[in-house]
Structure 1
Amino acid sequence: MSRQQASATGLIPKTVLHGGARLFVASYRIRQSELGRVWRCGFHALLWLHGGQATLVCDGERFEVQSPSLICLSPGQVYRWSAADDATHATLLGFEADIFTAGRAQGGLLDVQLLHDLPLFRPEGTTVVTVDENADVLHRLFMLCRQRYMQLSEPHGSGSWRVLPRHHESVLLAYLHVMLAEAATLSPAQEPPRPAPGTDLRLSRLFRLHAEQRVLERLPVADYAELLHVTPDHLTRAVRRATGQTPSAWLQEQLLTEARRRLALTDQPVEQVAATLNFASASQFSRWVRVHTGQTPRQLRQQGRGNSTVSSGN
């Protein structure tokens, strides 16, 4: 894993994969140097906390995490560790979504349905689950996955980063497949999904995958429809049938989440946040925030920096 420096427009550095990698495994202690540093997740991540305890803050939610626990992070989410004891140990399996979404001709090995049918990765919230009876199974899977990664990956450059060659991806993806299926049995009970045609579900998932990565561009629904080779009306109907929500409403929610992240986790002036989110002016941004939240950007910033604790649990 590589950590990209903050850009002039972003201020929140992003964790990304380099060297052509699409999947990696890392094991580390959450040391003092990690505490308080804010990062934007650039990939999907399964994080297994198997030692000690720690405090995780992700998109305004605060989690007191006890080991053993499973944490699921989605691309775009902003997080930081605010506390950890000396025994806190984590193993992280990170992977790019195109492993799932690309066709086999482009190198995709698993279908998007596997990832998005599981109630684990939620761009609108973080999944943190304390594990009881399945802890030994998940721990063995993470340790085996880490061992195989070290055997099959290759050193990259002069640093500690390693790259998994494409022809070895299938081995690690087999572990990932099993880990996702095991993890799905741990997630909190949720309402049954809304019935919808399979094509609607798939199109809705693909729309959300693209939109999560491009929220700052504030693209209209028509641009996503063109990207997915359908008409805007077709995309709107499919997403509404699959989720009960229109694409434009979902894009507004994602933009509001990004606004909350930047107000709570950076010291950017409101004018700079507005510019980064592609608003014409700070006053336009303030009006938009008030319409959607009933609060001013300043009030959102104060609220985001004074969140109550959210404890992990089954």
Structure 2
Amino acid sequence: MADRTTRAAHEGDGIRTFPFPVDLSVFGVGMQVGPMGADRIWHADAPLDRVHRIDFHVVMVFHDGPVRHMIDFAEYEASAGDVLWIRPGQVHRFSRTDEYRGTVLTMQPGFLPRATVEATGLYRYDLPPLLHPDPDRLAALEHSLAQLEREYVDTTTLPLSLHTSVLRHTLTAFLFRLAHLAVSSAQAGREQTDTTFTRFRDAVEKGFATNHSVSAYADTLGYSRRTLVRAVRAATGQTPKGFIDKRVTLEAKRLLAHTDLPIGRVGAAVGFPDSANFSKFFHQHTDTTPAAFRAELR
């Protein structure tokens, strides 16, 4: 199972792993669903405001916010209508100050059949943990989750074996909606990243000779600096500043190699009116001076 592989990869890292709290679930079934709030008991022993690992799924549907929650050492901010999905083996930490309001579902690995696990993509760690459903999808998710909660607390109308079967089927219906939302969000995120990076790349191509500022590009394009960083890193593995500097360095090399412009003029052509600053920048990115680079080619 993917959760065992993940735990094995982290053995010895000093982060404690907590199992699914069977003792807190109705009839000891492999899932829980109910309201989040100040009086909720998440786990009898887990230090919620410290980094820890879980071996079960947690799905939080927020009715209020914002709430900051760390998953695998990345901070996510969830607001009303957002969904946060933490998978087995992931490390996470609750906020010390924010109030968690909404509905939470926890599910033990093995509660669902393998075919259902595979069909719903429960171990797709490549999918984003924070989801932003549109109003229609959110309404459908909340309706499905409310039905699951009604079945979960109904312990009188069915014998335990049938009660558990109904829970599995109702949970499966909810998870299919959740999985579809996660896949759709990932695709939309990739499209947004592609568009953001393409616009940034085109802007750098037009403006690198005079503009070396990441913040200035972000402002011009209408993105936050964080959005730009994510998009450029996803597309190139570099930071936006690294991308700009690489383009400036390439142009400087071209001018040094293919023109007879004085080095000071080359620096001015790529945005460095002060030749000393240009020489320092060039050496920092090439481990050689502009003069030495030109001499080596001639």
**TM-score, structure 2 as length reference:** 0.46
1 or 2, which has the higher helix percentage?
2
Q: Which has the larger radius of gyration?
A: 2
Higher relative contact order (Cα pairs below 8 Å, separated by 6+ residues):
1
1 or 2, which has the higher strand percentage?
1
